[in-house]
Amino acid sequence: MPSTAFHQQTNGSAERMVKTINQVLRCYINKKQNDWVDQIWRAEYAINHSTSEAYQTTPIEICQGQVISLKGHKDTPCDAANSYLEALDTGLQIFHDALTMFRYKQADKAQERRNPDIEFKVGDMVMYQRRTYTKNLSHKLHSIWRGPYEILEVDQFKNCRLNSPKHHCRHPVFAQDMLQLYHDDPEHKRRVPQDEDEGERYVIHRIIDHRLRKDGQKEYLIQWKGYDEDDNTWELAEVIEKDAPGSIEDYQDMLAEVQAYVMMDMD
């Protein structure tokens, strides 16, 4: 079959290797791209010492029967080999220094986004910037900040561990640039129902979703009155029917109304 620019089917493995070599060379050549010929041996060395996904070993090990490393080499009687090894050591040191410098620059850029005038400490109430959104809802209309949550720990890099709910899937450690201090406002404070004898109690605000477990039992996603979205939990249908009679019927009526509205809009 004839080969074309974007339909190369004459030798797929060779075409794939050409792309790999191009990617490796881009990591070695300078900005002017005038030294790529001098860097071919580096690309060859990197590819021959990289583990193949097909064979789970390196090409050099397949050909030589052993792992060959040029690190910690000794001088040889051949001047060309010694020059080659010295150039390899020099190149590896240059790349190591460049990578270290890049990490420092990356850290400086990250620090520029952080407010140096704000110091978070253990016990502060903060809001974190959300990265996930509720399914089937518009991302643009979602609230950006979620919380508040108490800071439990601040590590040496000033990352903060929050007292988030145990059932919350997100990792509880956040960088400072993703946090902001929470200012208590009585008008917007959560109003958690209280019981004089038992203290804090949970009241169903509404049922959001439902699902069927592997064992055949039905569960409903509950939004509790006075609590944030992070505190939503899945509860068994039998528990809801016992503690809040009529809640499931209201949820089913709401689904029926939505379905009827959708069908009417389609007609």
Q: Is residue 63 classed as helix, strand or coil in its secondary structure?
A: helix
Residue 226 φ/ψ region, left for φ over 0, alpha for ψ in the -120 to 50 degree band, beta for the rest: left
| The predicted structure's pLDDT at residue 8 | 54
User: What span, in angstroms and rounded, lies between the C-alpha atoms of 18 and 25?
Assistant: 11
Mean pLDDT per 10-residue run, the chain (267 residues)? 57 79 84 83 82 79 72 73 78 80 81 70 87 69 79 88 74 84 66 54 79 86 75 82 82 81 69
Alpha helices in 49-131 (DSSP H): 59-64, 79-112
User: What span, in angstroms and rounded, lies between the C-alpha atoms of 46 and 43?
Assistant: 5
Residue 131 structure tokens:
């990265």
Q: Is the pTM of the predicted complex or chain greater than 0.75?
A: no
Distances (CA, A) of 90 to 30, 36, 182, 183: 16, 17, 52, 55
Alpha helices in the chain (DSSP H): 12-26, 40-48, 59-64, 79-112, 237-243, 247-266
101-137 burial code (b ≥16 CB/10 A, e <16): eeeeeeeeeeeeeeeeeeebeeebebbbebeeeeeee
Residue listed under structure tokens 């809040």: 244
| The predicted structure's pLDDT at residue 251 | 84
Phi, psi of 100 (to 5 degrees): -65, -40
| The predicted structure's pLDDT at residue 267 | 60
* 182 contact partners, CB below 8 Å, separation of at least 6: 124, 125, 126, 127, 147, 148
| The predicted structure's pLDDT at residue 33 | 82
